[in-house]
Structure 1
Amino acid sequence: MWWLVDGQQPKSHITGKTMKKHFLTLTCWVLLSLSAQATGDSLQYLTPKDTVFLQVDEMGNKVFLHHLEKGQTLYSMARFYGLKIETIFAFNPNINAAGPIPQGLSVKVPIPNPAVVKCRDSLHAREHYAPVMYVVKRGDTFYHIAKTCFGVPLDTLYKRNHLSSFIVHEGQCLFIGWLSTAGIADSLQIGNSLGVPTHSLSFIFQTEKAAGTMYSQNGAAYWQREKKGATDFYALHRTAPVGSVIQITNPMKRKVAYAKVIGKIPDRAYGDDVIVVLSPSIAKLLGAKDPRFFVEVQYFR
């Protein structure tokens, strides 16, 4: 059990800035490797014995890896963290929804900032919370982590981690706060970059059912695999009305996504077999690996 509170954290007696940097990084990755076991147990999805290591993904979401314990399922785990199962699949395109889910599977879970308790005085009972650490990434600054990422006072984060300077290093772990072992309210999860568009576009698609006739297509989808970091949820389509929302299904992965049509597919720009051009975010939600893959499309007009 590794339980961190203000004023308690392993300290290094190694002198020298270079040695200290390597020690902090090594310590963090050792702890990360130790945490790469089951999260929680057969009765709870998170216990005070667990440590939540947050990292920032390419879309700016704070995420951590939950390692499925025996008796845990993706569906009940999603509910515990206030998520819909579709969002779990969105964050984990490598998971095949149609296949078996092995014990010990590492599942990427978004953690909203309001769910992290930053003030020790706000804890109702410490035995009901797990410590939350943040893994510093390249380009991070102490100010950015404290103020922008988590909204923690600079002096609080400084003292909590027994720092000797405001310089942080890639791979270093910072003790941020605590996460309730009772789970996360779904009202807090609407803020992640996949949750908002997935929820809103799905809602729009359902409302469009009453306004028009449904059309279905099968064919190839195309996306620019080399384009990274984009978080837009859009598509180009030949006949769906511009501004409408279409539903795209990858039958091989059994994954569904929604996209807003922002224009027509340009003539002669793609082959006739391409029925939809997708943004990278949509393609990743659908588990696409190749620039072209088979999809089913539904839309209303």
Structure 2
Amino acid sequence: MQGGRAHRGLPIAVFCLPNCMSRFPLLSAAFVFAGFSALAAPRPVAPPDSVGIEYRGNKMLIKHRVTPGETLYGLARRYKVPVEDIVEANSGQKGALVTGQVVLVPRNRVVLTQPAAPRATAAVPAATRALPTDARGNKVYKVEAGMTLFAIARRFQTTPAELARLNGFATTYNVRVGETVIVAAGSGPAAARPVATTTPAPTRAATPTTRPERDEEAEKDAREAREKEARERAARERARDSAMAPAVTPEAPATEKDRGPSRASEIVRRVSESGLATSIQTDASDKYLALHKTAPVGTIMQVRNIMNGQSVYVRVIGQLPDTGENTNILVRLSKKAVQRLATPDQRFRVETNYVP
């Protein structure tokens, strides 16, 4: 009891001292761990020679106080950024730096993004699973008759663009019967970038496109055919002209012209003139006729078109009236004779030859 009373008589502080001393190490350890946790928390740490950090958008700007002797190029080397970025961040700073000036140095701000969720693999249709597999692990289909790229895509529940990507050809490609087409890529590493396995169509042996000897023979045959056709056409025209010529035309002037003059008297008697010719307005015959100012009636006259060299023999049937409309006219011809001279003009230059 005395001991108990003595114990109860002690001050409270003396009584609690052993308990407090036993708990002090635990409190100290808790404070120490809290301090380390605070220090370990992530926070932007500025470089030792900077005076602060500023954020603009997605960039971190380091505030650097210029010391004597520093330049823009020195800051660019120190912070490993281009000089142009420092000039842009400081509103076009291009002159020399001043001691004590605060320069902003841009640094890329790290933005943490969540990793993309793995994309779910599309289920492979049953028709595709039933296809054979090649050495790369790709599902392949051998083209049957009547199948097209769009029909294959519809059959195996895919798209023409995907088939074109897997096989390395255009979406407008025309598949051939017996050709092997990749329908689905394999899962192995060898099939990461499939290469088109289409079998090239057998190429025919190139035939020479030029054969000089054959070309020369063909050209020669064509030339002979053209010449033969021209001769036949000329013969037909001569026969038609002779059939249409008047029966009263004598052959004597043509014979004399062909053999040429043999005496001086014949040269004097042949008359040659040149001038304008036109048609007889009132002519309705189908004969070769003419009206001339001086040639006697019945004269056989040769009229030649100076422009194209065509000529015709006509018979003078009368004298050309000396009127105002015939002032510059040498000879008037029948419409049949004008047609023979092949001229589209109403008046044309001619040359006449006749023997009075």
Q: TM-score range by the shorter chain?
A: 0.3 to 0.5
TM-score, L = length of structure 2 = 0.31
TM-score, L = length of structure 1 = 0.36
Structure 1 or 2, whichever has the larger Rg, is 2
Q: Tell me which of the two structures has the higher relative contact order, counting C-alpha pairs closer than 8 angstroms and 6 or more residues apart.
A: 1
Q: Which has the higher helix share?
A: 2
